[in-house]
Amino acid sequence: MQASRARPLVSFGGLYFGLAAAFLYLPILLLILFSFNDSRTLVFPLREFTTRWYAELLHSPELLRSLGNSLWVGLLSSLVATLLGTMAAIAIVRFRFRLQGLFMAVSTIPLVIPSVVLGVALLLVFAQFGVPLSLLAVGIGHTILNIPYAMLIVAARLAGFSNHLEEAGMDLGLTYWGTLLRVTLPISAPALLAAFLSSFTTSFDEFAVAFFLVGTEATLPVYLYSQLRFPSRLPLVVALTALVMVTSILIVLGTEWLQRRSLSTRRRSA
Amino acid sequence: MSQFSVELRGVCKTFPERGERQELAAVQDLNLQIRAGEFFTLLGPSGCGKSTTLRMIAGFETPTAGQIRIQDQAMNAVPAYRRPVNMVFQDYALFPHLTVAQNVEFGLKVKGVPKEQRDPAVKEALELVQLPGHGDRKPEELSGGQQQRVALARALINRPAVLLLDEPLGALDLKLRKAMQFELKQIQSQVGCTFVYVTHDQEEALKMSDRVAVMSQGWLLQVGNPSSIYEKPATRFVADFIGETNFLSARVLKASNGSVLVEAAGREMLAQWLNGHAKVGEDVTLTVRPERISLFTANGGHRKGRLHGVAQDVTYLGTDTLYRVGLESGEGLLVRVQNSSGVPRFSSGDQVELSWDPADAQALVE
């Protein structure tokens, strides 16, 4: 009799999922919990509820300054990476040329180079050519880091629609550049935005490359790391990371949503 | 001024094979004259060069050699966006980010036609393809057949000298395809522009075209109206590709200018020369269409001019019955008999006699 066989209360799969989720999200939950805890030491039991760490954040000019730096570096490096990545993607998907395989390999290699290695390597190069350690140097590093991601995201979208669409554009009187602006880029827009957002989040919390290349102006991750030496500042760091994390999750969800939307229009138009 | 809408002179196209030294010849020394206002079909199996030819006329591919002329103008150096042609793609290629109306007006907008003139033109074009009132929809909300109509409207609104259609009905189901074939013909007679149509469906080609060009492996085999392609095929390939046919190996016994006496299936019979002449004693191929063969009940004895055989497979097709008849010589023939009350039916294993008019038997020189 099948019905009499007792089912275990928790299946193996359920247990696995529960444990994995706990390991992943419990620390983040703790982070948010302690960011509202009225104590400078991060131990249980919790004290009273407070928002004063968030309020103190606003009165911490150095911290806000590093936040601003990160936003700027993220914004500009992501724009450049998206632009260059899109150009590379168009070359790879829509054109046939000599040494194409090599080009593809060279442009995706940064994906597997550890960022520490990239950081040291860039430090050497910048020192050789007299480029001062600065936010500009960090921005260049982040651009290099992000080009392959941007390229792959846009390439996937380009490969997803027939180049007949571009031929139709030319057939209806558009030049090559006209077709690029009025057909290719509008149809790829969700992927361009996804590439930009993904690059931005990478740049925003990137530490290894930035650590080697920052000059006097710190980016946010570098600043947070420097603050760990002062235990009294710890709750501030916790509050800020909680904020950053929530923002990051929102951006990632947004990117995901855009990609899904672009995939579903692709499926329907296929 | 020539009367040709499109003219191809010695056009060749070779593609470099990826990773290999040799080149792939897609189109070889193609000469074609397409008249203004005609429905011209490029027909052939996939890979025969028909789509490449169309894409060269559109300007998406550059000929390796030869010249393409449209309305008596050399087009080789003219980019796709300045040619007086428009294309309808098999996958429709509608812009997914635009509405139906925005798709249809695209060409006019690019040309800078003001909105007051575009709007009525879009309305007219959508009425032409029987989609009035669909302008505000997105292409993805329409069915395949409707999307193809939008693609047609988007091309025709530009009033091209030549409309190029690349297997436009290939993605539609049979019933819709037949309806669209009829409709395409009607639209063509309404707008009066030259249609150059690519298909691998010989039935579609015969049904719709004023003239058909049959291609195989990059070569043009024959150009002619549907009846001459069907009844006077220039090569064995054309005879085989267009409709069903039978082939019998034969030897020339006596040859004259018009007809030829051959030995085939163990009998002497008369046939017509089709694509040249052969000498006495040489081998030729005899071809007879299945529907030109008559079947009779075998009643013993050998009647003059009839072959003997056994009905092997019998396939009932509604209007017709298709028999596969095994001959005494060991060869097989397909016979298509129209079903009507006076016609005897045979079943598998029956002895039958076959005959055909010598005018329907054709001798092909290889």
**Could you give the CA distance from residue B238 to residue B233 in angstroms, rounded to a whole number?**
5
**Could you give the CA distance from residue A261 to residue A250 in angstroms, rounded to a whole number?**
16
Q: At what angle do helices A234-269 and A220-227 cross, to 10 degrees?
A: 150
Q: Are residues B141 and B99 located together in one domain of the fold?
A: yes
Domain that residue B51 falls in: 4-240
The residue ranges of every structural domain in chain A are: 61-269
pLDDT of residue A168: 94
CB atoms within 10 A of CB B37: 16
**Could you give the CA distance from residue A157 to residue A190 in angstroms, rounded to a whole number?**
9
- Which of A98, A167, A172 to mutate: most B Cβ within 10 Å? A172
End-of-domain residue from the set B181, B216, B240: B240
Q: Are residues B91 and B183 located together in one domain of the fold?
A: yes
**ipTM reported for the complex, 2 dp:** 0.82
Quickly list H helices, B59-135: 100-104, 106-111, 115-128
Provide the total of helices (H) and of strands (E) in chain A, helices listed first.
12, 0
pLDDT tens figures, A136-176:
888 999 999 899 999 999 999 999 888 899 999 999 999 99
Strands (DSSP E) found in A28-123: none
| B residues 16..45 contacting A (CB < 8 A) | 18
Least confident of A27-31, A181-185, B209-213, B238-242: A27-31
Q: Are A200 and A251 in contact (CB under 8 A)?
A: yes
We report the CATH number of the domain holding residue B330 as 2.40.50.140
Indicate the residue of B97, B139, B140 with minimum beta-carbon distance to A186: B97
Backbone angles phi, psi at B77, to 5 degrees: -95, 5
**Could you give the CA distance from residue B299 to residue B219 in angstroms, rounded to a whole number?**
49
Q: Are A201 and A153 in contact (CB under 8 A)?
A: no
Chain B contact present for A38, CB below 8 A: no
| Yes or no, beta carbons of B80 and A167 under 8 Å apart | yes
Residues in chain B with CB shorter than 8 Å from the CB of A268 are 96, 140
Q: Are residues B318 and B250 located together in one domain of the fold?
A: yes
Strands (DSSP E) found in B243-338: 246-255, 259-264, 267-273, 283-288, 294-297, 307-316, 320-327, 332-338
Chain A contact present for B87, CB below 8 A: yes
**Percent share of chain A, pLDDT over 70:** 92
Between strands B65-70 and B4-16, the pairing is antiparallel
Residue A196 in this model has a pLDDT that exceeds 80: yes
Q: Are residues B283 and B252 located together in one domain of the fold?
A: yes
Q: Are residues B188 and B299 located together in one domain of the fold?
A: no
* A1 — pLDDT class (breaks 50, 70, 90): very low
**A-B C-beta contacts closer than 8 Å:** 70
Q: Are B11 and B74 in contact (CB under 8 A)?
A: no
**Could you give the CA distance from residue B57 to residue B195 in angstroms, rounded to a whole number?**
12
Bridge partner residues of B272 (DSSP): B259, B362
Chain B contact present for A181, CB below 8 A: no
End-of-domain residue from the set B240, B257, B287: B240
Residues in chain A with CB shorter than 8 Å from the CB of B93 are 162, 164-165, 167-168
DSSP tag of B195: E
Residues in chain A with CB shorter than 8 Å from the CB of B85 are 171
Amino acid at B4: F
Q: Are B87 and B51 in contact (CB under 8 A)?
A: no
Give the DSSP H/E element, type plus range, for residue B363.
strand B362-364
Q: Are residues B152 and B20 located together in one domain of the fold?
A: yes
pLDDT of residue B94: 93
- Which of B88, B95, B143, B198 to mutate: most A Cβ within 10 Å? B95
pLDDT of residue A269: 45
Residues in chain A with CB shorter than 8 Å from the CB of B158 are 172-173
> In which region does residue B330 sit, left (phi positive, over 0), alpha (psi from -120 to 50) or beta (all else)?
left
CATH class for domain A61-269? Answer: mainly alpha
Tokens of B162: 């030549």
Q: Chain-wide mean pLDDT for chain A? A: 84
- Which of B70, B81, B87 to mutate: most A Cβ within 10 Å? B81
- Give DSSP secondary structure letters for B136-159: TS-GGGS-HHHHHHHHHHHHHTT-
Q: Are A172 and B110 in contact (CB under 8 A)?
A: yes
Mean pLDDT by 10 residues, chain B (366 residues): 81 76 79 93 91 93 92 90 93 91 93 92 91 89 90 93 92 86 90 93 92 93 92 88 89 83 85 78 88 84 76 89 88 90 84 88 84
| A residues 44..103 contacting B (CB < 8 A) | 96
Owner of token pair 């294993």: B349
Query: Rounded to 5 degrees, what angle do the CA atoms B311, B313, B319 make?
Result: 100
Q: Are residues B196 and B254 located together in one domain of the fold?
A: no
Residue A262 in this model has a pLDDT that exceeds 70: no
**Could you give the CA distance from residue B242 to residue B86 in angstroms, rounded to a whole number?**
28
Backbone angles phi, psi at A170, to 5 degrees: -70, -35
Residues in chain B with CB shorter than 8 Å from the CB of A171 are 58, 80-81, 85-87, 155
pLDDT of residue A133: 83
Closest CA to B103 of B50, B65, B142: B142
Bridge partner residues of B163 (DSSP): B86, B195
Q: Are residues B190 and B255 located together in one domain of the fold?
A: no
Residues in chain B with CB shorter than 8 Å from the CB of A265 are 96, 140
Q: Are B239 and B246 in contact (CB under 8 A)?
A: no
CA B259 to mean position of chain CA atoms: 29
Alpha carbon of B183: minimum distance to chain A alpha carbons (Å)? 23
Q: Are residues B205 and B265 located together in one domain of the fold?
A: no
Residues 6+ apart with CB under 8 A from B132: B123, B126
Q: Are B177 and B209 in contact (CB under 8 A)?
A: no
Least confident of A177-186, A227-236, B93-102: A227-236
| Yes or no, beta carbons of B91 and A162 under 8 Å apart | yes
Q: Are residues B323 and B296 located together in one domain of the fold?
A: yes
pLDDT of residue A270: 40
**Could you give the CA distance from residue A17 to residue A66 in angstroms, rounded to a whole number?**
37
Q: Are residues B73 and B168 located together in one domain of the fold?
A: yes
We report the CATH number of the domain holding residue B83 as 3.40.50.300
pLDDT of residue B176: 87
Residues 6+ apart with CB under 8 A from B364: B233, B235, B236, B239, B274, B275, B284, B285, B286, B287
Alpha carbon of B17: minimum distance to chain A alpha carbons (Å)? 12
Alpha carbon of B359: minimum distance to chain A alpha carbons (Å)? 48
Q: Are B94 and B171 in contact (CB under 8 A)?
A: no
Chain A contact present for B116, CB below 8 A: no
Q: Work out how many domains chain B is built from and give that number.
A: 2
Strand order in the sheet with B332-338: B294-297, B351-355, B307-316, B320-327, B332-338
End-of-domain residue from the set B240, B263, B283: B240
**Could you give the CA distance from residue A189 to residue A195 in angstroms, rounded to a whole number?**
10
pLDDT of residue B19: 55
Q: Are residues B40 and B151 located together in one domain of the fold?
A: yes
Integer CA distances (angstroms), A249 to A63, A220, A255, A257, B78, in order = 21, 17, 10, 12, 52
